[in-house]
Chains A and B, each alone.
Chain A
Amino acid sequence: MIAAETRVPDDAPAPAQANAVEVRHLSRRFGSKLALDDVSLSVPAGTVLGLVGENGAGKTTLIRHVLGLLKAEAGSVDVFGLDPALDPVPVLSRIGYLSEEPDLPGWMRVHELLRYVAAFYPTWDADYAERLRRDFALDATAKVKHLSKGQRARAGLLAALAYRPDLLLLDEPSSGLDPIVRRDILGAIVRTIADQGRTVLFSSHLLSEVERMSDRIAMIKSGRVVFCGTLDGIRARHCRITLRLDESRGRPPALPSALSWEGRGREWTAVCAASADDARIEASRAAAQVVEEWTPDLDEIFIAHAGGKRPEGAAT
């Protein structure tokens, strides 16, 4: 919970106590590239938000704002009721962060690294750190630069977990790692969330991982949120529909909510950003007969959004 004396800029809206992270209308430009475009997202305390999107979609830029490494140009970022760019110390002391390439001082030995990190965090739990070190089979005397990629990821994970942060922030943590290291990382997410009240925000391109770990899933495309919600909710707002036409056509019929098409001639299949009911109405307007419809899974929805045109006004 947020301390009464926290410094909040005067013009900031009252922090939502229930959300560990609250991003409102965040935009960010790098040169001519709009990296984040009016992003609004929240992560309720005690839940896991999985962030998906293609490389370069803006996931890392968003996470760097949550860490306070980037300051909001437009919009606001709220972590535990504070702006992480203005108040980095109290915010960062509550965040455990692991990136794809953990930035660890290579010349240190593992036990030195742990002592070094511990000094920053009053809540560092030395017993827990030692238990993790053994579980991860990390050699205390090994130099960080001599660790394998997997062991380096485990060292980074240990350093992010041992002070029991209230928010675990993982940016593509399992990228390029073998399944055993990935298990350790996912296990850490499970244990973090099993501790009441802790929150996880992680990005991954492995949709099956995201599906298993997340309470809510957000997809970012070209800096915009294309969907955000529970998996059930996201699936209910999409449908896959197969249409049959009176005559063969070279192009699919005009369905406003269609994200992607496949098919030819008289039979066309679309993944639509609409409920099945709405898609059926669109189909009847296009004089097409619906011969099959079903609820797409996350993979199909992701691919339809990633490959398809940007749906107008689909940002939710």
Chain B
Amino acid sequence: MHIHLSNSDGVPIYLQIVNQVRYLITSGRLSEGEELPPIRVLAEQLLVNPNTVARAYRELEVAGLVEKRRTAGTYVSGAGSRLARRERLRILAERVDALLAEARQMDVNLEQVVDLVRQRDSVMDRAAAAPSPGTRDAKGLVP
């Protein structure tokens, strides 16, 4: 399980761990029943306070993504993978929120945003249908 902590983006460390483990589970890179590293091991690897890792694990447990088992150890829960789709939508919802906030700030209304989303989607379709990246004419990408 690889986690990368950033010092510069202002997101608290425990939340960075939560978000990244969440992402690893929803993307299927951690699967049901897989064991997370013990708190102490992850703390030493990331060089963070073990209490911070413990807090992240607690949050993941409350969210139902992982479960503690009787003989210590934290495992990806079955519910965790079932939650995957909901999680993906949740992650997208965050992005949409950011997009909408920016649109409002720029005085672009919802209709226009939705139009733009459709337009970009069709651009992406066309790009995917294009022969190969090497031979593609850059002009063909302009909507």
**Also in contact, A232 and B49, with CB within 8 A (given A190-B44, A212-B5):** no
B44 / chain A contacts, CB cutoff of 8 Å: 187, 190-191, 194
Q: Are B12 and A212 in contact (CB under 8 A)?
A: no
Complex alpha-carbon distance, A48 and B53, angstroms: 14
A282 beta carbon closer than 8 Å to chain B: no
B39 / chain A contacts, CB cutoff of 8 Å: 194
B51 / chain A contacts, CB cutoff of 8 Å: 47-48, 193, 215
Q: Are B10 and A48 in contact (CB under 8 A)?
A: no
**Also in contact, A183 and B47, with CB within 8 A (given A212-B5, A212-B13):** yes
B50 beta carbon closer than 8 Å to chain A: yes
Complex alpha-carbon distance, A18 and B46, angstroms: 28
A213 beta carbon closer than 8 Å to chain B: yes
Q: Are A194 and B40 in contact (CB under 8 A)?
A: yes
B50 / chain A contacts, CB cutoff of 8 Å: 190, 193-194
Q: Are B47 and A48 in contact (CB under 8 A)?
A: no
A47 / chain B contacts, CB cutoff of 8 Å: 51
Q: Are B10 and A190 in contact (CB under 8 A)?
A: no
Binary contact readout A38-55 vs B (1 if CB under 8 angstroms, 0 otherwise): 000000000110000000
A295 beta carbon closer than 8 Å to chain B: yes
Q: Are A211 and B43 in contact (CB under 8 A)?
A: no
A148 beta carbon closer than 8 Å to chain B: no
B40 / chain A contacts, CB cutoff of 8 Å: 190-191, 194
Q: Are A211 and B7 in contact (CB under 8 A)?
A: yes
B103 beta carbon closer than 8 Å to chain A: no
Complex alpha-carbon distance, A194 and B45, angstroms: 13
B69 to chain A, nearest CB (A): 20
B59 to chain A, nearest CB (A): 13
Binary contact readout A171-213 vs B (1 if CB under 8 angstroms, 0 otherwise): 0000000000001001101110110000000000000100111
Complex alpha-carbon distance, A170 and B46, angstroms: 20
Selected from A186, A187, A213, A295, the residue in CB contact (under 8 A) with B10 is: A295
A219 to chain B, nearest CB (A): 18
A207 to chain B, nearest CB (A): 8
Q: Which residue of B lies closest to A212 (CB)?
A: B48
Q: Are B10 and A212 in contact (CB under 8 A)?
A: no
Complex alpha-carbon distance, A215 and B12, angstroms: 12
Interface residues in chain B, defined as those with a beta carbon under 8 Å from any beta carbon in chain A = 5, 7, 10, 12-13, 39-40, 43-44, 46-52
Interface residues in chain A, defined as those with a beta carbon under 8 Å from any beta carbon in chain B = 47-48, 183, 186-187, 189-191, 193-194, 208, 211-215, 231-232, 295-297
A-B contact pairs, 24 of them (CB 8 A): A47-B51, A48-B51, A187-B47, A190-B43, A190-B44, A190-B50, A191-B40, A193-B49, A193-B50, A194-B39, A194-B50, A208-B7, A212-B13, A212-B46, A212-B47, A212-B49, A213-B47, A213-B49, A215-B49, A215-B51, A231-B12, A232-B12, A295-B10, A297-B10
